[in-house]
Amino acid sequence: MFDKLEYPELNVKEVIKEIEKRSQRKTTNINKFLSDETKRSLVDEERKYEKFSSELFKLKPCSEIGDYDKNVANKIYDGVFKKKIREEYMSQYIGTSCPICGQTLGVELDHVLPKSKFVQFTVTPINLVPICHNCNYWKGDNYGNTYANSSFHPFYEDFSSLNGLHFNFNFCNKTSPIEIIYDKKKTNPKFIHIMKEYDMEGFLTIQAVKKLRQIEHDLCSIKVSGTEKMSVDNFQKTLNAMTEYIGLSSWEKIFICDLMKVNRKFYSVLEF
Ligand SMILES: [Zn+2]
């Protein structure tokens, strides 16, 4: 979750070259829209993007560069980039999980700074991130105007430690036994924002409830097969053994640690 992704091999100069090559070969008239001035501007804008990589919220929306406006940019994106260049771009990310949720493959391209507002970055590879359909849906056209409310950028950022995230347990509540909370002192405010922006709170809550139900089920199987009442110490040992840290993802490690902290409450609910 919130993993860093390898920097794209393509840059806007190569994209422009490809657009021109393809428009010369095919019967498209896109080439005539890309004046030398526009091409230079697109390269300059990409440089600016890289320079501001840690504070992209400072970049200003732009609706046109000369006659390169939203219509032209979309035409190039949908007609050439998505159909032809996307394949080359995506070949670098084959087998990579969605950098946001870490679950599904990244099969859609999200404009981190949305193309509806930032026309200058419509075909700029560093503004295009392969993410899954779900994460793309939640992010929509959001982008933010401060560091704390800006979107996650996997080429430049890494929040995979999930620093400050915790799980709160209320075993008696059957419909929502788990709540996501944050340690205010350790949590980066941007992290809280992106957890909400991509609905990672909802996603993690569902995953965590599934995990809890699985652990309950496994413990109850042991309870049924045992003849004597399990002591709280044995319960703790069994729980420990069941939740080996090997192979667990970051959120699962946090989940297990937090569950261990309330194991006496958990024990009393399961009535051993
Ligand atoms: Zn995702």
Q: Are residues 23 and 132 in the same domain?
A: yes
- Is 110 part of any domain? yes
Rounded distance from Cα 45 to ligand 1 centre (Å): 28
Rounded distance from Cα 26 to ligand 1 centre (Å): 35
- Three-state SS at 130: strand
pLDDT at 272: 67
Rounded distance from Cα 101 to ligand 1 centre (Å): 4
Q: Are residues 18 and 95 in the same domain?
A: yes
80, 105, 139 - which closes a domain: 139
Q: Are residues 135 and 170 in the same domain?
A: no
- Is 158 part of any domain? no
pLDDT at 224: 65
Rounded distance from Cα 203 to ligand 1 centre (Å): 10
Which two tokens mark 254?
Answer: 């946090």
Q: Are residues 116 and 44 in the same domain?
A: yes
- Residue 180 β-bridge partners: 167
- Is 218 part of any domain? yes
- Is 182 part of any domain? yes
Rounded distance from Cα 25 to ligand 1 centre (Å): 36
Rounded distance from Cα 134 to ligand 1 centre (Å): 6
Q: Are residues 180 and 104 in the same domain?
A: no
Q: Are residues 92 and 201 in the same domain?
A: no
Rounded distance from Cα 224 to ligand 1 centre (Å): 39
Tell me which residues have their CB within 5 A of the ion that is ligand 1. 98, 100-101, 132, 135
Rounded distance from Cα 105 to ligand 1 centre (Å): 8
98, 122, 139 - which closes a domain: 139
CA–CA–CA angle 151, 81, 135 (5° rounding): 30
Q: Are residues 240 and 179 in the same domain?
A: yes
Rounded distance from Cα 204 to ligand 1 centre (Å): 12
Domain that holds residue 214: 165-270
Q: Are residues 56 and 95 in the same domain?
A: yes
- pLDDT tens sequence for the chain (272 residues): 999 999 999 999 999 988 888 777 665 555 566 888 899 999 999 999 999 999 999 999 999 988 888 988 998 898 888 888 888 888 898 888 999 999 876 688 999 999 999 999 999 999 999 999 999 999 999 999 999 999 999 999 999 999 999 999 999 888 899 999 999 899 999 999 999 999 999 999 999 999 999 888 888 887 666 667 778 888 888 888 877 767 788 999 999 989 989 988 888 888 76
CA–CA–CA angle 184, 186, 191 (5° rounding): 80
Rounded distance from Cα 162 to ligand 1 centre (Å): 16
- Is 7 part of any domain? no
Q: Are residues 94 and 203 in the same domain?
A: no
Domain count along the chain: 2
Q: Which helix (H) or strand (E) holds 214?
A: helix 200-225
- Is 68 part of any domain? yes
Q: Are residues 112 and 197 in the same domain?
A: no
pLDDT at 167: 97
Q: Are residues 19 and 124 in the same domain?
A: yes
Phi and psi based region of residue 247 (left: phi greater than 0; alpha: psi -120 to 50; beta: remaining) = left
CA torsion, ordered 74, 80, 85, 90, to nearest 10 deg: 50
Rounded distance from Cα 271 to ligand 1 centre (Å): 38
139, 174, 189 - which closes a domain: 139
pLDDT at 26: 61
pLDDT at 35: 86
Nearest to 119 by CA among 76, 64, 75: 64
- Is 62 part of any domain? yes
Q: Are residues 210 and 173 in the same domain?
A: yes
Biggest distance spanned by C-alpha atoms of the chain: 83
pLDDT at 68: 87
Neighbours of 194 (CB within 10 A): 24
- pTM here is 0.86
Rounded distance from Cα 132 to ligand 1 centre (Å): 4
pLDDT at 113: 96
Rounded distance from Cα 122 to ligand 1 centre (Å): 21
- Is 145 part of any domain? no
